[in-house]
Amino acid sequence: MTLNLLRYALDVTLLTSEKYLLQDGSRTQSNGTVDLSCGILTPLENFSSAIVIACQAIRISRSGKETRGEPPVIKLDGGMSLVCDVDVIAEVLRCLVGEIQSGLGMSGGKGS
């Protein structure tokens, strides 16, 4: 019996004391390398759509609230990565993970 085990990774990097960068862990890093310390990673097929949904959800939940001049979430790299404020990271992660789970056909997606 052969098991087809796939590994997925969500890379979360603290950029400053106020911002996080979130991206698919299988993507090439800025220095041209891929982190294989956890083994070969499978790309998250619906990651760009999950980013769009997360951005929309945060913007809707934050509409009408005072901001510091820039949005709490910003799409980068044509929708392949996301920068968000520290105060919305939990909400962003919930949304991203729910969408990723749904895209992978796992139970517990959207709102779980």
CATH number at residue 49: 3.30.1360
* Alpha-carbon gap, residue 14 to 18, rounded angstroms: 8
Residue 55 lies in a domain: yes
Q: What angle do CA 92, 108, 49 make, to 5 degrees?
A: 45
Domain count, the chain: 1
Q: What angle do CA 23, 29, 30 make, to 5 degrees?
A: 110
Residue 5 lies in a domain: no
Give pLDDT tens digits for 10-57.
888 899 888 999 988 888 766 667 777 877 888 887 888 888 888 888
Range of the domain at 43: 10-103
Question: Does this model's pTM top 0.85?
Answer: no
Calculate the CA 98 to chain-centre distance.
Answer: 10
* Alpha-carbon gap, residue 73 to 87, rounded angstroms: 11
Calculate the CA 16 to chain-centre distance.
Answer: 17
